[in-house]
Each structure stands twice: as C-alpha cells, then as structure tokens.
Structure 1
Amino acid sequence: MKLKRRRKLITYLNILDQPIRFNPFVFSRTFLLWAVLGLVGGFIIPLFFVGVSLGLILYVMFPSINSTLAIISCMAAINACVTRTPMSTTILLATLTGFGYFIPILFASLTGYFLAPRIPFISSQMEK
C-alpha cells in the first residue's frame, strides 16, 4: 500500500517538473471568470494578469527574447498605461522582482504612461 502511494507521489511530482505550456484559451477563460465573479484585486491584479498574458504571447511569438523580461515589461507598461502611475508601478514591480529588473521596469512604465491616451481609463481620474 505504501509503495502505491509513493509511486503516485513521484508521478505527481514529475508532472510538476514539466515546463508550463502557454494556452491562450486558459488565460482568457481565467481572466473572464475573474472579471465576472468580481474577485478581489481592484485594478492592479487583473492588469498584471493581462500583462503576464501579453508577455507570454510575445515570448511564444519571439522565443529568442527573455521570457521574464517580456512578462515584467508588459506588466509594467499595461499597469502604468491604465492607472497613469508609472513611478508606483515601477516601485511595486521592482519590489516584487527583487530589483533585478529595475531599469527595464522603469522604461516600460514610462513608455506605457507616455503612449497612453490623455483621457484616463479610470473614471475617478477624470477632472470634474
């Protein structure tokens, strides 16, 4: 009996060692489910999720680029574009990633901020 449990555990752990394959349908379904159910996270967590999805799409299209850099840069650019807060996005993501990608995060945040339309996406940021 113990041998069967060990084999199941070893099989399960071997499955965890497999590389993660990108499936856009899984990401889109997860994001839609997150949005429909109104899960906690405000604006930031869903925007980071969209950034991760876009970064993975870029990595699949161009496999020669660094996947981590693509994901983090897309997270920073999309969040800074929508929330119009490039410096806090830079500080937050640099803190989460251990300051190893501080300069690329800063450039991506500033690029997203300056390429964003002047009309904010968030209604509370509009002038009254």
Structure 2
Amino acid sequence: QKLELGFATDQLARVSAEEVGNAIRACCEDGRYKANAQRLAALMNREDGVGETCDVLRRFVAGDLLTGKWRRNHLEYKRSLVSRRYENQRAPNPWKTKAWTSDLGERYPVMAEYW
C-alpha cells in the first residue's frame, strides 16, 4: 500500500465480505492505483533480471563458495538446528512450538504476524 498499487486490508480471516468488496472497488475505480502499477511495471521491464541473477551467482561462487565461507556457515546452522532439536525434546510441550516458530519469525519477518 506504500506504493499505492493496491488496497491493504487486515488478515483475510478477519475481513468481512463488505471490506473485500470496498477494497476491490477502490482498486478498480481509483485511477492512481492503475497508474502506479503501470509505472512500476515499466521500471521492472527495464531491469535486466537474468543479468543481475548471473552477477549475484558469480559473486557467490567467487566469494562465499570458493573460500569455504558458505560451507562453514551452513554447517554452523545445521549444528544449531540439531542443538535446538535436542533442547526442544527436553522442553515442556508449550515451549516446543515457540522455539521453532521464533526462528521462523526472525528469518521471515512477515511470518511473525501470524504467531
């Protein structure tokens, strides 16, 4: 909604049919939503997505992969998962869910809204 490309609502489970209808109506009738979407589409069409992806992969391979940094980080992450699993097996039941979802909330901030 910050870019005014559409109309934001609350979580879908908490939205009434009337609110959804109002949001759809606003997007269809308000010309600025369409104009902003067209402007964003033009920006996206000018980008070189494949070239940028190749550059990112080249930097990853030349940097993290060949230096061993990625492997060290990956092994450390796996060790932390094993450690957390061991701790969760000993934890009281309500804490098991909290321990796993807290990591997801940190890694994917958008998921934190649902817990």
TM score, norm. by length of structure 2: 0.22
Larger radius of gyration: 2
Question: What is the TM-score normalised by the length of structure 1?
Answer: 0.20
Select the structure with the greater relative contact order (CA < 8 A; seq sep ≥ 6): 1
Structure (1 or 2) with the greater helix fraction? 2
